[in-house]
Structure 1
Amino acid sequence: MTSNFPPSTPADHDDDHGSDDVLCRDLGLPARGIQLVKMEGRVFLRFSGTVAEEDLRVPYQLVPAQGVLAKPSKWRKLSADDRAQLLRERTGEQAVDELRAATAAFVREMALECDDFGLDPMSFLHTLSDLQTSEMASVVFGRIRQRLEYAIERQREERHAERTKQSINLAEYPESFEVARRLPRRFIALLGPTNSGKTHRAIEALAKAPSGIYLAPLRLLALENYERLQAFAPHGKPLAVSLVTGEERRIAEGATHVASTVEMLDTRTPVDVAVIDEIQMLADRDRGAAWTAAVCGAPARTIYLLGAPEARRAIEALAERLECQLEVHILKRKAPLSMEPGAVRKIRGLRKGDAVIAFSRRDVLMWRDMATEAGLSVATVYGNLSPEVRRAQAQRFRDGQADVVVGTDAIAMGLNMPISRIVMTTSVKYNGYEEEEISASLARQIAGRAGRYGIHEEGLVAGYDDNTHQVMRALLKEKLAPLNASGFSVAPTLEHLHRIASVTSETSLAKLLKRFVYNIDVPDGFFYPRITEDQSTRAAWLDSLELSVADKFTLSLVPVSSKVLSLQRAWEHWATSLSRGKVTRLKQDDFALFRCSRQEVEDTCRLYSAYAWLGYRLPEHFPDIELAQSLSRMASERVDSLLQQQNAATRRKQPKRFR
């Protein structure tokens, strides 16, 4: 036997190697399968042998627990007698037997576990004789166990992926809406730009029907058409109409009609007519799944689809897939829309009836102050405002109490105002990741708010500066690309997650959502699974709490911004309290709102709305729904009051010649 020394170096003398070989032979180590090895900066012992486990014969070459003897430099300094003594101590029968027993136990453990999962144990155990390392046997065993765990996890993942695929076939998604599937449904698509009269036609048809539902993209639009429906009396008495949004319920006794946000669609109660507004939202990255569900699941015999002309191809594809009759009506704008000859350029160039568009709350408030200082009274609209405040501000503009409205693209959806001209302060918007030029479809939707039919003969559009003016001119001329005719978003339901959990035994919401996105069967890609980034992030946090899958799923959908620290903390508090079985109550502080800044009151309003949303879904733990709604209304009134006070204060500061 030769000791496995590397080629000699000036520090390693041939006589030293030779003496170690002689010493090992004298002690009978080679005959017992023991080697003296120097590598990796160590001098150590390696024991060889074979263990048998049923039909397995597994050879090994391993370093025992006391197998590392010294560093080479220290070993060279030892006398021959000291080396011999150390080798006798470390190569006794007890050391050999202990390593053999440990290896046999390890082989037995691996064989049993591999048998449970149908794996070949030798694909892992061959390493016992192949490794060239100074690491002790226990470390080698640990690494092989880790390899087996990875292999088992991969196999488990493959099994779970296959079972998940078998449990949910997305091609069958329309079949999950039992009531809609049984009805003879037909679609009527009313497609056209803003101010083409499509909503008016659909709402009239809805009001004349014995029963129906209106589905809106926003609470504000649901509320507006709820009131429009209440004003109808097709049979000599007003319609009984309910309002149903995530945060509010106004249930009318004997209601025949419902105005609702699209996510709140009742798929179990059949009606005569359904109206699905803003159908082009099918393509929306985060909310498109709600429109897919509405088209597939609206339980109505006649379904009106309202939206932009570019949605036609998508609607035709869905109608064909759902085997529903389809009529398409392309409507034209009732009042013409034109670009102004040139940019506005100066704040004094703004005039009564203008809507000034910016894309952030900060910029909206800056332009509001500039317009006010120029002598104009201003209504203000931006996304952080509650629907009630946006509505109140829009009403001030309608009533002539405000000369101009300054707002974000929130103006583009759900607010009907007598705007004569849209003035774009910029054509660039932050998309959540970076600043980018707005799309032609958004430019057209915003611009279309100008020139309300019956109030103005035409609508006008201008950029504030020359560059924005030219970009808007180009965007309004651009031909819009049609929506995709496949890949319609489908969001997971609790039933989907329970079905996946039943075949995988998963309780982690993050893993269930991940399986929904990556493992379910998507045969032709017509329907496609999607979750939002927010829901995925929240799921990972919720998995740290003792909550049911159902409760985690509900909490992952609470409509509250994680980017606002106070709202994120409130959400975390609600989730933690629910995990401890505690009831979360609200306290009314009549003076708190008067001690807060406007932004704090805005955030408070959103917090109360989110509490009400939770209360409707988990009333036992969030019982103060009515108080939340009352406080939300108070906060909205306070925000509206603060906006008016700030407008008035800015006007008082300006020189009299500008008033």
Structure 2
Amino acid sequence: MSSRMRPQTGLGPSGVTAVLGPTNTGKTFYALERMAAHPTGMIGLPLRLLAREVYEKMVDRRGERAVAMITGEEKIVPPNPSYWVCTVEAMPLERRVSFLAIDEVQLAADADRGRIFTDRILHARGQHETLLLGSDTMGPILSRLVPGIEYLGRERFSQLTHTGHKKVTRLPRRTAIVAFSADAVYSIAELIRRQRGGAAVVMGALSPRTRNAQAALYNDGEVDYLVATDAIGMGLNMDIDHVAFAQGRKFDGRNARNLQPAEVGQIAGRAGRHVRDGTWGSTAECPPFDEELIHQVTEHTFQPVTALQWRNPNVRFGSLPALLKSLEQAPTEEGLVRARTDDDEDALRRLARRHDIREMARGGAALKLLWEVCQVPDFRKVTPDQHAIILGELYEQLIERGSIRREWAELQLSRLDNPNGDIDAISNRIAHVRTWTYLSHRSGWLDDAGYFQGEARRIEDKLSDILHERLTQRFVDRRTSVLLKRLKDDAPLLAGVRNNGEVVVEGEFVGRLLGFQFILDPKARGPHEKRVRFAALKALGPELMARASALAEAKPDELKLADSGEITWRGSPIAKLRRGPQPLRPDFELVAMEHMPASAVGAVQDRLRQFIADRVEGLAGPLVALQRALNRPSDDPEGLSANARGVAFRLVENFGAMSRRPIADEVKALTQDERAGLRKLGVRFGEYTLHLPALLKPAPAKFLGLLWSLSSEAAPGRYALPPAGATSVEADETVPHAFWYAVGYRPSGKRAVRIDMLERLAQEIRKARDEGGRQGFETNQRMMSLVGVSGEAFEDILKNLGYKKQTVEREVKVAAPVVADPVAETVEDPAATAARQLPADEPVAEGQAPDAATQVGTAPPTAEAEQAVSEPASEEKEAEAPTSDPAAETSQAEPTETHQAASQDVPVTETPPAEAPLAEGETVTETVTLWRYQPPRGPRRDQKDGRRGGKPGQRGEKRDGPRSQGPKGKGGKRPPKDQKPRTFSSGPRKRKEADPDSPFAVLANLKKD
């Protein structure tokens, strides 16, 4: 029956008036006006969310003390209220009111909730006025069921037009997209966030507080799109211009079915606000609607409702079978149909199968209580069996003790007070809390019900706020939404940069400015990324110019040089070193400077050149001085001679340290004056190397390693630098020898030894050789402490230096009685002894960790060793230096353990067991390990010199190493000039008999024959 054909006749004889019409006709507003005109009133609404909205409007009209609100999970009841705002299920019908209204009465035909609305239509009445609000499709059925009812037709304020199918990305602003599953809602909302900046989400599964917050997000204009289920079709007043259906089918709790025309009209009718016209259509995967349905929705002409859902409200509690039978009773009045089995009836039948429940529910109050327990809503939407189990436990507690155990209730609520988890987890907890909210409002079910009502409300509000925050974070990009609006309006943008580099445009974070590079926030990426980036950079122009000026005037401590060759300013990379025309003149390239103003590039480049020059001068000063001396002409008093120039050039080329072997002839040709000139420039002539001691400190060594990497075109940081203060480290065979020399270390077998410590070790060996004579020398604790290793690792270093180990026996006199005590003869770890002998106040080298001195292989040299290295060697000591290096620059082996047991490096003395103490003056024989220099037999072709890149050495090159103390190629001392050299003669050699069975002997016998 069309409302257009019904005259507005006012109240009928029965006092019941049906106010019918399509959406956007002001029916609810009219009901509130009528209720306010009565001294008392009550209105039943289909949704808890709508009830809250109407309650707030009535509070504005009559005040908080005059208005009560009752829903299944919430009660606000002041003393003696005059007006009651309720959900349809929670209406307190025992209260007598002058006015009563029921909204959305067409839901009486709904399979799930229809029986409740039907009962209210038939039995709920106001003393003076009753209004039934809903669709005009209810006209005929209400005429049959409510005798004497009158009708008040309402016309739609605006027109509703169909616009067809559109892509989601082309939907207009102020659009509500409707889907019928949580997965579909979430996926569409995510797409809208990426394409249009964000969307609000409204679903029936959300708590009212969350739905209110999401609806406010849309109504306040923070987002232009709303993704919702059919919950928006039930009276929610929202500023919607267009409704787009993303799905044409829905699951009604039993089956998936197509949408009915009336349902489409109810939802589509939300488009348009008061007198503003609205549009509707389809989108996403929803197929286009047929012409007949479009006509019905546009013209609001739907098939009238022919039957309402009904269930017997007068149930009998004589026995459990009687209760079940009364629920199965069929309606006798035309226009009513038996409602399908609802959740409460299904729970009752499941519990009735349990023997213990049947025993407890033997009629009367116990059976009535069981029916009330079964009516607890399944907010959690679990399986029917799980829901029945919870209801059975509640019923047992209520029967046994009269109320729910407080401890159990507190435990259940405490488990739900958890803010962690994703959207689904938070939503599930809210559903559980709603169950406890419902239970707390049941009279007498919980001791101290007020406490549990407050606690459940607190947890639900807390979780609802968190859920709103999660939804907003996931589906709303406030930044993109705001920027798109401002760009569309072509308005000037308000931008700024915070102290931490965050770029804020129109109050929204859009990225970060690191130095001169603008890094867009990853969350802003998408179709509008270019527009957001353009807007940010446009607003950042003044800030970038100011930064360029500040960089051009930057103080030295504001610029930093990293080990990777990267130059940073205020913690942000601005340039990177690269190979230059000379080793000490590295070049650079600007990085992350694409946004720097072009007018400021020249000044920035000049500042960076000055910074690099200062770093080279400060960290490699001795090498720079040597380079300058090379550039002076030979006749300059501070210049170098030709011989000295060659040595200096090689040192500069090799970054201040190199093996002595490749230039042994050049060094030998230097005069004392030439040597003195080089020493004045900081050059140290060692037994194995030529180096500049000032460059061995950690900071210069690290910088020279970087320069070597740039010069050799190796990636900076490819080869690990030795720890600061380490006297020796394991030498990886893949590392070029030139790198070790550049950082102040000499490869020596399987380890690389710091050059100053190696030269100090050479001095210690020379002293020991002078004391040991021709037989060789014994190693001692001091030698091992200089290089920080012992055992096999120390022996490997000696072997690389050209020394050979041998075991000899010698006789010694006993100076005092000695008693052999095997237990007391213990061997101490040389490394531990060395650590104990180091001075406690030894200064820590620059960049060294505080505990580096206690690490094996990294113990700093003693003060005496440092002092000895800092002093140039005398000509007498140089004269004693070896003319060849026995085993320098050999290929590296696999690294070994740094520290071995002390028993492997301490000379072992074997004393024969004695029954009695030895007397003073007696002689004993001891076995000792001595080291003796082994002269090389010839040049090795696999040697590597100290030049850049580690190229193989040339044939015939002499080696560094201890000089032999006799004639070249011979052992022993040189004979005095007045003494003839000793001669040796030998007798005739004994001829070795040939093997008669040898084939050569047989051949010789044949020749004789």
TM over 0.5: same fold? yes
Distance 1:269 1:620, change over 3 A: closer
Shift in Å, 1:595: 2.2
For residues 363-382 of structure 1, the aligned pairs below 5 Å read 363-382=184-203
For residues 274 and 531 of structure 2, the distance between their equivalents in structure 1, rounded to whole angstroms, comes to 32
Amino acid in structure 2 at the alignment position of 1:470? F
Distance 1:476 1:534, change over 3 A: farther
Larger Rg: 2
Which position in structure 2 is the counterpart of 1:549? Answer: 367
Question: Would you say 1:597 and 2:422 are equivalent positions?
Answer: yes
Which position in structure 1 is the counterpart of 2:247? Answer: 426
Shift in Å, 1:392: 1.1
Distance 1:270 1:326, change over 3 A: same
Maintained 8 Å contact 2:19/2:134: yes
- For the residue of structure 2 that corresponds to 1:206, the secondary structure is helix
Which position in structure 1 is the counterpart of 2:89? Answer: 263
Maintained 8 Å contact 1:278/1:308: yes
For residues 489 and 526 of structure 1, the distance between their equivalents in structure 2, rounded to whole angstroms, comes to 10
Maintained 8 Å contact 2:109/2:308: no
Distance 1:497 1:654, change over 3 A: farther
Shift in Å, 1:256: 0.8
Gaps of 5+ in 1: 1-182
Question: Would you say 1:639 and 2:460 are equivalent positions?
Answer: no
Distance 1:487 1:639, change over 3 A: closer
- For the residue of structure 2 that corresponds to 1:304, the secondary structure is strand
For residues 406 and 487 of structure 1, the distance between their equivalents in structure 2, rounded to whole angstroms, comes to 31
For residues 315-464 of structure 1, the aligned pairs below 5 Å read 315-320=142-147, 325-340=148-163, 342-345=164-167, 347-454=168-275, 457-464=276-283
For residues 229 and 531 of structure 2, the distance between their equivalents in structure 1, rounded to whole angstroms, comes to 26
Amino acid in structure 1 at the alignment position of 2:269? G
Distance 1:311 1:631, change over 3 A: same
Shift in Å, 1:592: 4.5
Q: Deviations over 1:110-148 (max 9, x none)?
A: xxxxxxxxxxxxxxxxxxxxxxxxxxxxxxxxxxxxxxx
Which position in structure 1 is the counterpart of 2:439? Answer: 614
Maintained 8 Å contact 1:193/1:308: yes
For residues 469 and 541 of structure 1, the distance between their equivalents in structure 2, rounded to whole angstroms, comes to 43
Q: Deviations over 1:151-178 (max 9, x none)?
A: xxxxxxxxxxxxxxxxxxxxxxxxxxxx
Gaps of 5+ in 2: 1-11, 481-522, 533-1009
- For the residue of structure 2 that corresponds to 1:267, the secondary structure is coil
Distance 1:474 1:534, change over 3 A: same
Which position in structure 2 is the counterpart of 1:304? Answer: 131
- For the residue of structure 2 that corresponds to 1:383, the secondary structure is coil
Maintained 8 Å contact 2:118/2:308: no
Moved more, 529-538 or 261-270: 529-538
Q: Deviations over 1:233-262 (max 9, x none)?
A: 5xxx78711001111110123311110111
Shift in Å, 1:608: 1.4
Amino acid in structure 2 at the alignment position of 1:555? V
Distance 1:211 1:439, change over 3 A: same
- For the residue of structure 2 that corresponds to 1:461, the secondary structure is strand
Which position in structure 2 is the counterpart of 1:630? Answer: 458
- Equivalent residue pairs, number: 453
Distance 1:354 1:448, change over 3 A: same
- For the residue of structure 2 that corresponds to 1:536, the secondary structure is helix
Distance 1:242 1:561, change over 3 A: closer
- For the residue of structure 1 that corresponds to 2:150, the secondary structure is strand
Q: Deviations over 1:428-461 (max 9, x none)?
A: 112233322100000000000001115xx21010
Distance 1:567 1:605, change over 3 A: farther
Which position in structure 2 is the counterpart of 1:247? Answer: 73
- For the residue of structure 1 that corresponds to 2:254, the secondary structure is coil
Moved more, 404-413 or 248-257: 248-257
Shift in Å, 1:468: 2.8
Match of 1:537 among 335, 346, 352: 346
Maintained 8 Å contact 1:492/1:529: no
For residues 291 and 181 of structure 2, the distance between their equivalents in structure 1, rounded to whole angstroms, comes to 18
Which position in structure 2 is the counterpart of 1:12? Answer: none
- For the residue of structure 2 that corresponds to 1:343, the secondary structure is strand
Match of 2:110 among 284, 289, 292: 284
Maintained 8 Å contact 1:397/1:404: yes
For residues 283 and 612 of structure 1, the distance between their equivalents in structure 2, rounded to whole angstroms, comes to 29
Distance 1:518 1:557, change over 3 A: closer
For residues 516-535 of structure 1, the aligned pairs below 5 Å read 516-519=326-329, 522-525=331-334, 529-530=338-339, 532-535=341-344
Shift in Å, 1:617: 1.9
Amino acid in structure 2 at the alignment position of 1:218? L
For residues 155 and 224 of structure 2, the distance between their equivalents in structure 1, rounded to whole angstroms, comes to 29
Which position in structure 2 is the counterpart of 1:654? Answer: 525
- For the residue of structure 2 that corresponds to 1:293, the secondary structure is helix
- For the residue of structure 1 that corresponds to 2:272, the secondary structure is coil
Shift in Å, 1:625: 2.2
For residues 421 and 458 of structure 1, the distance between their equivalents in structure 2, rounded to whole angstroms, comes to 9
Distance 1:393 1:350, change over 3 A: same
Question: Would you say 1:483 and 2:295 are equivalent positions?
Answer: no
Maintained 8 Å contact 2:41/2:98: yes
- For the residue of structure 2 that corresponds to 1:395, the secondary structure is helix
Distance 1:423 1:526, change over 3 A: closer
Maintained 8 Å contact 2:240/2:270: yes
Maintained 8 Å contact 2:108/2:308: no
For residues 42-53 of structure 1, the aligned pairs below 5 Å read none
Shift in Å, 1:219: 0.9
Distance 1:464 1:658, change over 3 A: farther
For residues 78 and 374 of structure 2, the distance between their equivalents in structure 1, rounded to whole angstroms, comes to 30
Maintained 8 Å contact 2:67/2:77: yes
Maintained 8 Å contact 1:443/1:472: no
For residues 379 and 286 of structure 2, the distance between their equivalents in structure 1, rounded to whole angstroms, comes to 33
Shift in Å, 1:391: 1.3
For residues 446 and 374 of structure 1, the distance between their equivalents in structure 2, rounded to whole angstroms, comes to 25
Shift in Å, 1:517: 3.9
Distance 1:287 1:513, change over 3 A: farther
Which position in structure 2 is the counterpart of 1:574? Answer: 394
For residues 190 and 438 of structure 1, the distance between their equivalents in structure 2, rounded to whole angstroms, comes to 25
Distance 1:393 1:314, change over 3 A: same
State percent identity of aligned pairs. 25
Amino acid in structure 2 at the alignment position of 1:594? P
Maintained 8 Å contact 1:463/1:472: no
Q: Deviations over 1:368-409 (max 9, x none)?
A: 000001033211011211111111111111111121110111
- For the residue of structure 1 that corresponds to 2:257, the secondary structure is strand
Distance 1:612 1:422, change over 3 A: same
Which position in structure 2 is the counterpart of 1:515? Answer: 325
Maintained 8 Å contact 2:198/2:225: yes
Question: Would you say 1:585 and 2:409 are equivalent positions?
Answer: yes
Q: CA RMSD in A?
A: 2.8
Which position in structure 1 is the counterpart of 2:37? Answer: 208
Distance 1:519 1:477, change over 3 A: closer
Question: Runs of 4+ in structure 1 displaced over 4 angstroms?
Answer: 522-529, 565-573, 587-592, 648-651
Maintained 8 Å contact 1:379/1:402: yes
Distance 1:580 1:273, change over 3 A: same
- TM-score, length of structure 2 as denominator length: 0.42
Maintained 8 Å contact 2:420/2:426: no
